[in-house]
Amino acid sequence: MIPRTPPSVADRQRSYFRTGATLALSFRLEQLGKLRDAIASREAAILEAVKQDLGRPAEEAYTSEIGIVRAEIDVARKRLAAWARPRKVRTPLLLFPAASRIHTEPYGSVLIIAPWNYPFQLAIAPLVGALAAGNCAVLKPAEAAPHTSRLVAEMIGATFDPDYVAAVEGGAAETRALLEERFDYLFFTGGTQVGRIVMSAAAQHLTPVTLELGGKNPCIVDRDADLEVAARRIAWGKFINAGQTCIAPDFVLAHKAVKPALLEHLVAAIGKFFGPDPMASPDYGRIVNERHFDRLAALLRDGKAVVGGQSARPQRYLAPTILDGVSWDAAVMQDEIFGPILPVLEFEDLDAAIATLQARPKPLALYCFSRDRARQDEILRRVPSGGACINDTLGQYLNFRLPFGGVGESGMGAYHGKAGFDTFSHRKGVVRRATWADPGVRYPPYRTPLAVLRRVISFLL
């Protein structure tokens, strides 16, 4: 007798999902509450794990890893009943007497693959949307952040039945094995190259997918910008988490008339944030591992460092660096930097600058500093991007009423708040008809002249 293969985690979760246990709103709210409590009881451990993996200060880690997730859970618990309520839509006369509604239903078992740069938040925040929508879920935390991965796995294992929510640790082999299983939805956050692999795997089962990728996010500083404020906000958005943020400004495109002054303000902002020696600052993080450090260190050969440029491989330290004299053809301008290196280029004509950006892949984020509303709107209208923020950086990520996601090579699909609930929900159209009227004109044999039928159908639909 041939031994039976034990059911996979996806199969076990699909069986559990089919019991209908996850569908009740009371159950979903209870599970979101359990997740919130699990996080609250592990705050110190989460902060320590993130510090071990990325050298991040507690204040920065709390805001971007714990605070955001708790807010996401609170929004979902408060709004879930409204999100899940069937939405009535107009019914054409052709179907009279009837009512039409859009129902949301969960997909089933979803796979969430998390990255290493915000290893707690980017694992748990998508999970909130998945559970709010009524799904089961498998989390694959990032192996490049081993301390946080271990903590996420422990927390999930201690909080949920694995037939409902499970965490699978491991590297590329474990990820490939998960991708070979048949899930009902895939949610991936990471780089474009791996995103293509995930999408290819999803195609084998025709599984719907959300890809949260990255790109070279431009930051335009126009001639009328408040340079001191712009420099402070750009430096904050760029150097938080040592630049390892998918929506960080990847390069600045400054008007030629203000570029020298902007560079001075950027240098001053870095000094104010991290002192004369950022390596000694308790508020500045580290590169995640030696492989990424070596990649970033090689990019320092391009242009001239106006500030920074120092590095120490044993400590995975790379100073916050501003590069001047960088060409569009330089290596640092080819791929997403994902580190604390900020090239500053210049432009004179806005139309030419926009044309240059239009010729590049669509970024995940677009930033613009300008007081001129017409020029702001021109940039927003003509430069496509996943999201955008005017006169600040990262702001589009912090409003849960806004969908967050990429476009083109920076990703597909969106989440956060209701957008996360919608991502993990199938929108099912439902028509409910009465039986007291059933006109025979719709049935064969057909006797209505075609000319009359055209006018009638146009009216009835």
* pLDDT in the model for residue 457: 81
Give the 3-state secondary structure of 322-363.
Answer: EEECCCCCCHHHCCCCCCCEEEEEEECCHHHHHHHHHCCCCC
Residues 113 and 257 in one domain: no
Bridge partners (DSSP) listed for residue 346: 254
Do residue 388 and residue 417 come from a single domain? no
- 234 and 303 in a single domain? The answer is yes
Query: Which of the pair, 348 or 454, is modelled with greater confidence?
Result: 348
* Inside any domain, residue 309: yes
Q: What are phi and psi of 208, to 5 degrees?
A: -65, 150
How far, in Å, CA of 455 to CA of 375, rounded? 48
Q: How far apart are the first and last CA of the chain?
A: 60
- Under 8 Å between Cβ of 366 and 218: yes
Same-domain pairing of 81 and 188: yes
Residues 179 and 233 in one domain: no
Tell me whether residue 287 is in a domain.
Answer: yes
pLDDT digits (tens, 9 = 90+) for 208-225: 999 999 999 999 999 999
φ, ψ for residue 137, nearest 5 deg: -150, 145
In this model, does residue 197 exceed pLDDT 70?
Answer: yes
Domain membership flag for residue 95? no
| pLDDT(441) > 70 | yes
Residue 65 lies in a domain: yes
CA–chain centroid gap for 141, Å, is 15
Q: Tell me the three state secondary structure of residue 183.
A: coil
Within a domain: 396? yes
- Assess whether 223 and 208 both reside in one domain: no
How much is the pTM?
Answer: 0.94
Model confidence at 6, in pLDDT bands (50, 70, 90)?
A: low
Is residue 437 situated within a structural domain? no
Instruction: Say which CATH number the domain at 59 has.
Output: 3.40.605.10
Q: What would the pLDDT profile of 59-118 be if each residue is shown by its tens digit? A: 999 999 999 999 999 999 999 999 999 999 999 988 899 999 999 999 999 999 999 999
In a domain, 419, yes or no: yes
Q: Give the total number of structural domains in the chain.
A: 2
Which of 375, 405, 435 terminates a domain? The answer is 405
Residues 310, 196 share a domain? no
Report how far Cα 334 is from the mean position of its chain's Cα atoms.
22
Q: Say what the pLDDT of residue 3 is.
A: 44
- Same-domain check for residues 80 and 122: yes
Range of the domain at 148: 9-87+101-213+413-423
Q: Is the pLDDT of residue 1 over 50?
A: no
Same domain flag for 29 and 76: yes
> What's the pLDDT tens digit per position in 7-44?
789 999 999 999 999 999 999 999 999 999 999 999 99
Residue 258 lies in a domain: yes
* Residues 208 and 225 placed together within one structural domain of the fold: no
Class of residue 130 by CB neighbours under 10 A (exposed 0-12, middle 13-18, buried 19+):
buried
Confidence of residue 437 (pLDDT cuts 50, 70, 90): confident
* Residues with catalytic roles: 212, 246
Q: How far apart are CA 262 and CA 226, in angstroms?
A: 9
Question: Do 193 and 329 reside in the same domain of the chain?
Answer: no
Angle in degrees, CA 83, 89, 92, rounded to 5: 165
- Is residue 33 located within the same domain as residue 55? yes
